[in-house]
Every structure is written in structure tokens, then in C-alpha cells.
Structure 1
């Protein structure tokens, strides 16, 4: 029987919830492209509850233990003495989330001699050294599309928050003020602006569709062109390179995967090609942007605002400059872990595990690496190599806000 090692973020500060603001979730049967939602043989949770934290356990314990498997769940993931490193040596399966990733470096693969599969509860497997997984014949899978629309909604929210100067205006009210001129001095209409997305896959296309009613001019760059009818429907213009698109755009949103070719893509040189006073939104991966170049561009005024929920590493060290740079709208990595999305990615993980244990094929759209090569979605979205370098820096956040509680391992 298998040992399943699951890394999830810590429970709420006040403890695991006993009730929730809403009683149910809307029923969705298919994603916009027709792909069905996860179809496990069963689930042992109520959709709408907190599944992504340690006590939620992705709703997996009853299923795994009733079939004789051992489940270990922890939030303690960074550093050589972490619960994750101690438990990894004899683990058969590792599960973690992009929001609180267990960085599967080549060194950790070398420790995990029994490892057969790494699963992302969500979308994005860049926290796994894909080259090491290929070299060792380890399967890598993720729950494709489970939270793509969740992230697309978050992107639109952040674009509007930056352009309309929402967060500073909210702070004025919270402080008891009524400083209208201060709030309005950095507030614009989105209408008529040129908005471009770097990549127009499931998330990027979802952003384009949601922005069209705002009467903006839409642009995209992607190595895979959208269907001609989609381009006509949205009135979106495709560009052959990021460098060609950037000077035209007032707002740029990053929606591409992280792999060696996109690592630090938005460096000082590329940001200098953007319009002065443009806005940049990144809910893809923090490492696609050069950390210090973004902070410098906000200080100089080259960027009017930067927002996102992705950092590198995660959790971000307490002295990460994005915490204190001006005109930002950063949050922890939350865009894809709404309670709605959690129900889908938890069900998707269960489906992947059922297939693995039963010896049935895992859905092609869930596969990233299989049989020593990129496979399924991985072959379409990723390139060979490794983007985990530097992840050990995450250990510097240990003991900081909301992670000071003792790690929970079950």
C-alpha cells in the first residue's frame, strides 16, 4: 500500500471553520471549452468547505485509509528539518498546491527513492523539477482547468483595483478620512485602454472574454493562435512577440506557465519597453518577473501599478520588496483557491489517485510528465528543465505572521 504525503497551507488563525458565509455552490458541469469537471468515483467532503488547509486534507483521508493507504498531511515544507523532508524518504506520492508549494527539487527527488507520482492540487507544476521527474520516471499530474476561471476573475478584479485606485481609496475610508482629491489623483477609467495578455490559454482567454464588455482594445501573444472565429468575436489582435505587444498596451496581464524560457521574462529591459504609466498584473508565477526590476519600475514611475498574488519563493520572505513597494495590490497566493475552486481541485486529485491505484490511464489533460517525457498538457505548456532554483529562500518566512503555529502532521 502507498504512503501519500500531502502539503497544504496552515489552518485559519482562529481555527478550522465551523460554518461558512454561504450554504452551497453553483452547479457547473463543464468548463467553457467543453471539458468535464473532475469525475471521481466518489467524494468524502461537502463542496464549499475549506479543503485546501491542513485540517481539510483535500477530503482524502477516509478514501485513502479505507483502502489501506497511509496519509500524512503537513504545512511544514521548507528546510532540511521540515516534516516534509523527514516524511519524503519513503513516500510513494507527493501532493501539494501552487499556493503553498512543496518545492520538488532534484535533491528532494534523490531522497525519495520510492516516489512514483507528484500531484499538483490546482494548476501549475513549476514547483516540481520536471527534468528530474523525467529522469527518474516519476509521473507528474495537475488538475487542469479546475481554477482557471477563478484566476481569470481575480485578474479582472486586480486590473480594476489598480486603474481605479481602489485600495488606497479604501484605506482612506478605513482611516476615517474623506480625501477625495488624493483618491482621484491616480484614478482612471478602464474604458478605451489597450489591454494585452501574455498567453491566451484557459486563463488568458477567460480574461479576454471578461474584459470585452468594458469596451477596451484587446491584444494577446501566444505561440498557439486562437481560432479565427474567436479573434473576430472578441476583436482581439495577436502579436508575434511580447516585445511587439508591450509598447501598445496600457495594461498587461501575465497568464503563461513558468518554465526555463519564461523565468525572469519581465526584467528591467522588457519593462522599459512598456508604456510609461502602464499597469502590470501577474497571477501566473512570481518568477516570471524580476523581483527587483518590478520594485524599481514602481519607484521610478515606469509602472503606475503592479498587482498579483504570486511570489517567489512561496511563502515570500518577510523582507520581500513587493510587500513594501509603492502602488502595488499584492495578496497571498489566493486567486485559484476560492472555496469554489477547492471543491474542483480536491475532486480532481481524488480522480487522479483513483486512476493511479486502479491502474487506469490518468486523463491526458491532467498529465504533465509520464514515462520519462513531457506528456498531455505538459507537452503543450511546458519545456524541459527546472525552475525551482532559489526555492530554499522560502524557509526565511518560517515563524512569520500566520505561520508561527506548530506544524500539523497527521
Structure 2
């Protein structure tokens, strides 16, 4: 691979500036019409390329990796999450995996904060009311929601994004609580005035808002299940900008439609792009099309990381964003 341009296949349309640079550096096959590739197409592509650049919606499973033969050496994923890649199979075949961490933290935290405001204050409901023509003017009891000032926010997953959410929420007078695999540094807790809960169940039972910011791994699948949702206060809200699989969506829909929680703000779904019809009908659900990281700046930064990872690998060095087993 050192004496020729590596064959790089990109599964989806990327920003023009990134595709142009890739074409300059690599023997690059692009997906200009941005049509999602089928499993058969991914299998065929894996067998004919040196570097595969999938996105988080491409399932790079055991069958795709098995079809790769000896040629595929790097899966340079365009995205932070790697739960769409069968990492054990890739490792067994000697295929390195990289991702694009750190560049989406602020964008995702912004979107989380937007949902934290939108759901309790019923912003989307109000917007729909105005557009419908049914709004008759201000009244003392019209469109009453809940203030977030003084409320308790429970963050599940106090990594980069969870910490960025906490920083923003502090500015709105929200008290910060968190549950994490490991307790954060004392200086971080002090700066955020954050309270650590070793018991997720106990934290959930005391919170007014739950924000899901942990990655999807086997250990976090349905972490917020029916039993834990039943612990929530009836006026409490759930916001998820992480991965849909972290929440048992069927249990969430039941809790929502039965009035056992106050509302939800979701940017991700368990079976996306399919959405539970009951969620679509729920007035107290703000639903977004997985757009938490959808900024021009973020997408370009992701592409630049992909290029650096590929170039570093091709030059015989260890890519800066290599995924390791302990991330799972």
C-alpha cells in the first residue's frame, strides 16, 4: 500500500471539501447520490477495497468483514460511535478500526440543551398551535409547562458530551447529578457542582430530567428499561441524543402514553429511521431526525479526521483515533 494510492470506498455522500481532498490523496470511490448501500453492496465493496469508510448507519457485521478477504486493512468510520461495526470480527481478521471522536461534543451538547428546554416548556407544541391558526391569544393558563431553573438534571454518561451538557445546564440554574462507569475528577465535580450517584436507580428516582449521553455497548443496551422508567417521577422528562438502543423504546412509549413520565425529547430511536407510531402521536414528545451533530463545521471536522486516520495508516504509523477493545 505504500507504493500506490490505496483504494478507499466511501459509503455515503460527504461534504464536498472532504470528497475533493480524498480524491486528491486516494484512489477514491464516492457515493455521489447518497443512497444507503445494501448489505450485498457492502459485502462486494469490502472485497474490493483497501480502506472502507462507513457511517454509523452502515452495518459492518461479520458477513461484511468475512467477505473482505486479505485486501481490506482499515475501517475508517465517519462518526464517533462504533457499535455498527463487529469489532471482534475485525480484530480477528487483523483489520484496524478508527473513528472520529471529540469533534461532535459541542454540537451534540447544544442539541441536548435545546431538547432540555423544548420539552418542559412545550416549545414544539406551541409552534404547532401558532401554525394551525387555532391560537386565540395569551391566557393565564395557556400552554403551561415547567421551568427548568432549580430542577435536578441526571446525566447518564459523564464523558465529553455529558460534561459539556452539564456546563450548559449550570447556566440555566439546573443542579447537576450524574451516573458514570467511573467518577469524574474532583476538580470537574467542583467546577460543575456535580453530585455523583453510584446507584443509577437511586439517581433516576430523584431527578426531574434524565439526559442519556452514554454510548451504546452491550453493557448499556436497554440501560433505561421499563423497571428504571417506573422509578421516575411522573412529571420528569427523558432526553436522548446518544443512541436509541440505550432506552427500551417500547417501555418508554408505555410510560409516556400512560402518563407515568412528563415527556421525552429524542434525537435517536431504537429502530431508526422507523419511529413507533405512538411516539408520533404523542403531544409531549419532541422528535428529531438524528441531527444532534448535524453542523457543517462538525461534518467537515469529522471528514478531516477520517483523512488523517487513513493517511497516517497508509504511511505506516498508528492512526490517532484507533478504536481499542476497552472502548466496548
Q: Distance in 2 between matches of 1:58 and 1:106?
A: 32
- Secondary structure class of the residue paired with 1:214: coil
Contact preservation (8 Å) 1:168, 1:183: no
Give CA-to-partner distance per residue, 1:86-109, whole Å, 9 cap, x none: 4233222221333xx111111211
Query: Which residue is equivalent to 2:297?
Result: 340
Say yes or no: does 1:110 pair with 2:54: no
Pairing of 1:1-400 with structure 2 (within 5 A): 1-8=5-12, 54=13, 56=15, 59-60=18-19, 62-67=20-25, 69-73=27-31, 75-77=34-36, 79-81=38-40, 83-98=41-56, 101-113=57-69, 114-179=71-136, 180=138, 184-314=142-272, 316-317=273-274, 321-363=278-320, 366-369=321-324, 374=325, 379=326, 382-383=327-328
Following superposition, the deviation at residue 313 of structure 1 comes to 3.5
Following superposition, the deviation at residue 260 of structure 1 comes to 0.3
- Secondary structure class of the residue paired with 1:306: strand
Contact preservation (8 Å) 1:57, 1:73: no
Following superposition, the deviation at residue 300 of structure 1 comes to 0.7
Contact preservation (8 Å) 2:247, 2:270: no
Aligned pair in 2 of structure 1 residues 275, 214: CA closer, same or farther (>3 Å)? same
Aligned pair in 2 of structure 1 residues 164, 67: CA closer, same or farther (>3 Å)? closer
Following superposition, the deviation at residue 253 of structure 1 comes to 0.2
Aligned pair in 2 of structure 1 residues 68, 6: CA closer, same or farther (>3 Å)? closer
Following superposition, the deviation at residue 120 of structure 1 comes to 2.4
Q: Distance in 2 between matches of 1:203 and 1:279?
A: 19
Aligned pair in 2 of structure 1 residues 178, 234: CA closer, same or farther (>3 Å)? same
Following superposition, the deviation at residue 295 of structure 1 comes to 0.9
Contact preservation (8 Å) 1:278, 1:305: yes
Higher relative contact order (CA 8 A, sep 6+): 1
Q: Distance in 1 between matches of 2:83 and 2:130?
A: 40
5+ unaligned residues in a row in structure 2: which ranges? none
More displaced stretch, 103-112 vs 276-285: 103-112
- Secondary structure class of the residue paired with 1:121: coil
Query: Which residue is equivalent to 1:42?
Result: none
Give CA-to-partner distance per residue, 1:61-86, whole Å, 9 cap, x none: x44444452323263335445x4344
- Secondary structure class of the residue paired with 1:368: coil
Aligned pair in 2 of structure 1 residues 362, 303: CA closer, same or farther (>3 Å)? same
Following superposition, the deviation at residue 336 of structure 1 comes to 0.9
- Secondary structure class of the residue paired with 1:233: helix
Contact preservation (8 Å) 1:76, 1:84: no
5+ unaligned residues in a row in structure 1: which ranges? 9-53, 384-410
Aligned pair in 2 of structure 1 residues 58, 255: CA closer, same or farther (>3 Å)? farther
Count of matched residue pairs: 321
Contact preservation (8 Å) 2:74, 2:96: yes
- Secondary structure class of the residue paired with 2:292: coil
